[in-house]
Amino acid sequence: MLFLHIFRLFCVFQDVLRNILDLNESVIQNEEFVCCVSGGKLFPGSVPLAHRYGGHQFGYWAGQLGDGRAHLLGEYTNRKGERWEVQLKGSGKTPYSRSGDGRAVIRSSVREFLCSEAMHFLGVPTSRALSLVVSEEPVWRDPFYNGSVIKERGAVVLRLAKSWFRISSLEILTRTGELDVLRTLLDFVIKEHFKSIATNDPDKYVVFFSRVLNETAHLIAHWMSVGFAHDFVPNTSDDEGRYSIGAQANVGLFNLQKLLEALKPLLTSDQLSQSLQILREYPQIYHQRFHELFKAKLGFLGNEEKDSYVIAFLLKTAE
């Protein structure tokens, strides 16, 4: 992790400071606070770790990835009883950094810092950002992926989420044959984050898959309704336009297919059939939610057959 003397606190979101972490604004004047949010010192009780996961890149299995530049600092329960996992991004090397330096630069850090808070206040479920710290220490990057390496300033974002688990947290375990760990992790995720699912339900993994599918469809429909594109970086490495704004819903479906593949060893043949039927319902769930959101934007009342045509015409005209 990095050190205090090269960092300067650039920005803090007061809503996160006060309403999630229960801190007074005066804390930002404290040198120890700046040291903690830059990764130079640990919060009391923190035992940092990096998250192991695998994943796909541009549609192909990329193997084990993991948190190459993120440190999970721990979990905080606030006065409202909410539990938030606190993480630093750009704070230095981890066991999964491979040949990278574990750092982040200002441009990507500002993008995440602002977008997460903008999405929150637009009503889209998202991670939250507390602080942005900038550094004078040089970080070398190739921003246009053309072989021209330049010197940039480093930055660290302290961000929070209810959980940092992802589909590929499960997928890596299936692909490496660690099925006992897969079951343990999945049971933990259900117990901690899907409390309405009974832990003794023999179909709990099917119910879990259904819940994740519905939430994924609703989430992508919501961010699409405000013109956001997740993971879209306009560079030549995405020459197929896989992550373009028009492909967002399809990438969501791809991710859900990979989730079902990860769950497959834990499912009976009947449960797998049920899950495949649930998967086939994704396009309808997505389009229904997307149209509900746009109808609300346009002030449409009721449910007219021509609503979908008007929405499609509007989007095509805007394009």
Burial of residue 250 (number of CB atoms within 10 Å: 0-12, 13-18, 19+): middle
Does 114 have pLDDT greater than 70?
yes
Does 90 have pLDDT greater than 60?
yes
The pLDDT assigned to 302 comes to: 86
Closest CA to 85 of 192, 240, 210, 171: 192
Q: Distance from first CA to last CA of the chain, Å, rounded?
A: 44
Percentage of the chain surpassing pLDDT 70?
A: 96
Residues 80-88, mean pLDDT to the nearest whole number = 98
Q: How many CB atoms lie within 10 A of CB 290?
A: 20
The pLDDT assigned to 7 comes to: 86
| CA pair distance 167, 212, nearest whole angstrom | 10
The pLDDT assigned to 243 comes to: 79
Closest CA to 204 of 267, 144, 254: 267
Does 295 have pLDDT greater than 90?
yes
Residues 22-36, mean pLDDT to the nearest whole number = 95
DSSP per position, 129-173 = EEEEEEEEEEEEE-TTSSS--EEEEEEEEEEEES----HHHHHHH
| CA pair distance 123, 255, nearest whole angstrom | 23
**Rg, C-alpha atoms of the chain:** 21
Residues 202-206, mean pLDDT to the nearest whole number = 98
131-188: per-residue pLDDT in tens? 999 998 899 998 887 889 999 999 999 999 999 999 999 999 999 999 999 999 999 9
The pLDDT assigned to 174 comes to: 98
